[in-house]
């Protein structure tokens, strides 16, 4: 797909006909099966917003039809379809499909998390010096870059390595599967994180905003990890933490 076919929603934030058509197809299937439900998605319903409990129906599908659009456009094989199902504002089920290798991550609240049907769990690493941390750059929020640069320096000086693949949904699944020990990003939308958040929590991990609050579905910051690394990340990312 040529750059002439890309639409810029913001700085380095693109949407294509693939995003729009795939979201339309997903919504069509979901609403055919559950006609009283609501689809919350980046392209079809950007005016709808959390809290989810305020949306028109008890069942809400939170859909990102192509998480990692820039990767897709450059044929970098790290992009996904992400769907979370919320009942009365509480995400009860989730699925994320890593498209290129065909890896499916799923979770049901209270019943666990799986990769292609096999149970997964967060890592057991507790020492930051041994940890691999995922992150996301504030590519469309350049005013937050100074804050992010300070956070990046603090984390990078203390861990074994850092990665930025470019799909938050898959970054969260990598935490759930134990490949990343932690992850943070300064601002994400509900469709970016709804499914991945449940998958991490069902895999034994912790997900909060930067203040430690559990609601990450309101265009908020996000900090995720196994319990030990999550707690460490919260401390090191705090504005008054030492460099």
Residue 179: CB partners within 8 Å, gap ≥ 6?
Answer: 123, 132
Asked if pLDDT for residue 222 goes beyond 70, the answer is: yes
Answer yes or no: are the C-beta atoms of 137 and 162 closer than 8 Å. Answer: no
Domain co-membership, 102 together with 133 = no
Q: According to the model, what pLDDT value does residue 50 have?
A: 54
Three-state DSSP class for 22? helix
CATH number at residue 76: 3.30.540.10
- Domain end, chosen from 61, 95, 119, is at 119
Residues comprising the chain, all counted: 243
Q: Token match 């020990």: residue?
A: 181
- Let me know if residue 242 belongs to a domain: no
Domain co-membership, 104 together with 189 = no
- Model pTM score: 0.90
Asked if pLDDT for residue 41 goes beyond 50, the answer is: yes
Asked if pLDDT for residue 7 goes beyond 60, the answer is: no
Helices (H), 17-118: 17-33, 69-73
- Let me know if residue 230 belongs to a domain: yes
- Domain end, chosen from 88, 119, 150, is at 119
Domain co-membership, 92 together with 10 = yes
- Let me know if residue 243 belongs to a domain: no
Q: Mean pLDDT, to the nearest integer, of 208-231?
A: 95
Domain co-membership, 72 together with 146 = no
Asked if pLDDT for residue 33 goes beyond 90, the answer is: yes
Q: Determine the structural domain holding residue 176 and report its residue range.
A: 128-237
Q: According to the model, what pLDDT value does residue 10 have?
A: 47
What torsion, rounded to 10 degrees, do the Cα atoms 120, 68, 229, 189 define? -110
- Let me know if residue 154 belongs to a domain: yes
Name the nearest CA neighbour of 194 among 69, 95, 111, 112.
95
CATH number at residue 222: 3.40.190.80
Domain co-membership, 108 together with 144 = no
- Domain end, chosen from 100, 119, 138, is at 119
Mean pLDDT of the chain: 89
Name the nearest CA neighbour of 26 among 43, 8, 13, 49.
43
Domain co-membership, 103 together with 135 = no
Tell me the C-alpha to C-alpha distance, in Å, between residue 86 and each of 6, 25, 61, 241, 243: 31, 19, 6, 35, 39
Q: Mean pLDDT, to the nearest integer, of 209-215?
A: 96
Apex CA 140: angle with CA 134 and CA 145, to 5°?
65
- Let me know if residue 136 belongs to a domain: yes
Domain co-membership, 60 together with 111 = yes
Burial class (CB in 10 A: 0-12, 13-18, 19+), 234: buried
Q: Token match 């949407």: residue?
A: 15
Structure tokens that stand for 35 in this block: 């006609």
Of 42 and 225, the structure prediction assigns the larger pLDDT to 225
Answer yes or no: are the C-beta atoms of 53 and 45 closer than 8 Å. Answer: no
Domain count, the chain: 2
Domain co-membership, 195 together with 145 = yes
């Amino acid at each position: 797909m040529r750059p002439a076919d890309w639409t810029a929603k913001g700085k380095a934030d693109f949407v294509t006909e693939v995003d729009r058509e795939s979201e339309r197809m997903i919504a069509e299937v979901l609403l055919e099966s559950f006609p009283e439900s609501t689809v919350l998605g980046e392209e079809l319903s950007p005016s709808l917003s959390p809290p989810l409990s305020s949306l028109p129906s008890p069942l809400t599908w939170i859909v990102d039809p192509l998480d990692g659009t820039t990767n897709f456009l450059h044929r970098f094989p790290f992009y996904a379809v992400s769907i979370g199902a919320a009942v009365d504002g509480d995400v009860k089920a989730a699925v994320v499909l890593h498209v290129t290798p065909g890896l499916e991550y799923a979770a049901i609240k209270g019943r666990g998390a799986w990769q292609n049907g096999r149970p997964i769990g967060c890592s057991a690493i507790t020492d930051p010096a041994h940890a691999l941390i995922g992150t996301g750059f504030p590519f469309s929020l350049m005013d937050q870059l100074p804050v992010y640069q300070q956070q990046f320096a603090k984390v990078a000086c203390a861990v074994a390595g850092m990665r930025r693949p470019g799909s938050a949904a898959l970054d969260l699944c990598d935490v759930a599967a134990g490949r990343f020990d932690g992850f943070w990003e300064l601002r994400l939308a509900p469709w970016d994180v709804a499914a991945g958040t449940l998958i991490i929590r069902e895999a034994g991990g912790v997900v909060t905003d930067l203040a430690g609050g559990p609601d990450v579905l309101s265009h908020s910051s996000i900090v995720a990890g196994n319990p030990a690394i999550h707690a460490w990340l919260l401390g090191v990312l705090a504005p008054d933490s030492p460099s």
